[in-house]
């Protein structure tokens, strides 16, 4: 939870897979002063449509306005706030960490504890990938921090509703 009543919201949209839709959606957030923390867009099962998962920080009242505006856009089939709902959330992160041969076994122990996979190895660095919820990715980043994280790239949250409910 951020200061002033602002919190992170998990917004999912089902939109037409057309040029300019992403820009129009992002502008709705920008006009209301919401910062987009994470944005993931992928083609849906039907290639005429796309799924968007947005993590944005702001207050409850404003997210309500944003959702109403999003649902009025011609190319938006539906937009919902999944905050607090029982959804499946995952991220993928690749972390490049300094790793001397002397520390390699120690670093690999940490990576394996988080069920990560090594995707690249060089004399002085190790790149791993890990999938899971944001807290797991954050925890791995923190644990690898003591060895010297060179860079980390994250996909952002991918969310899907549980059971037969459509996201």
Contact predicate 34/62, CB 8 Å: yes
What is the arithmetic mean of pLDDT over 54-60? 88
Contact predicate 166/135, CB 8 Å: no
Cα 77 from Cα 147, distance rounded (Å): 46
Answer whether 0.75 is exceeded by the pTM. Answer: yes
pLDDT digits (tens, 9 = 90+) for 7-53: 889 999 999 999 999 999 999 999 988 889 999 999 999 999 999 99
| Reduced 3-state DSSP string for 6-17 | CEEEEEEEEEEC
pLDDT digits (tens, 9 = 90+) for 66-112: 999 999 999 999 999 998 888 999 999 999 999 999 999 999 999 99
Query: Which segments of the chain belong to CATH 3.30.70.260?
Result: 3-85
Cβ count within 10 A of residue 134: 17
Query: Which segments of the chain belong to CATH 3.30.70.1150?
Result: 88-159
Of the candidates 38, 73, 69, which has an alpha carbon nearest to the alpha carbon of residue 56?
A: 38
What is the topology classification, in CATH, of domain 88-159? Alpha-Beta Plaits (3.30.70)
What is the topology classification, in CATH, of domain 3-85? Alpha-Beta Plaits (3.30.70)
* CA 37, chain centre distance (Å): 8
């Amino acid at each position: 939870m951020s200061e002033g009543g602002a919190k992170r919201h998990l917004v999912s949209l089902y939109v037409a897979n057309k040029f300019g839709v992403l820009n129009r959606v992002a502008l709705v957030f920008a006009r209301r002063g919401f910062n987009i923390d994470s944005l993931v867009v992928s083609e849906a099962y039907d290639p005429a449509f796309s799924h968007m998962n947005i993590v944005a920080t702001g207050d409850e009242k404003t997210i309500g306005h944003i959702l109403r505006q999003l649902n009025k856009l011609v190319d938006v089939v539906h937009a919902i706030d999944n905050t607090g709902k029982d959804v499946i959330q995952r991220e993928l992160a690749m972390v490049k960490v300094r790793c001397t041969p002397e520390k390699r076994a120690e670093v690999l122990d940490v990576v394996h504890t988080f069920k990560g996979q090594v995707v690249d190895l060089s004399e002085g660095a190790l790149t791993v990938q890990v999938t899971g919820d944001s807290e797991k990715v954050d925890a791995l980043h923190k644990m690898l921090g003591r060895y010297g994280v060179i860079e980390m790239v994250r996909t952002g949250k991918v969310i899907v509703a549980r059971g037969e409910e459509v996201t």
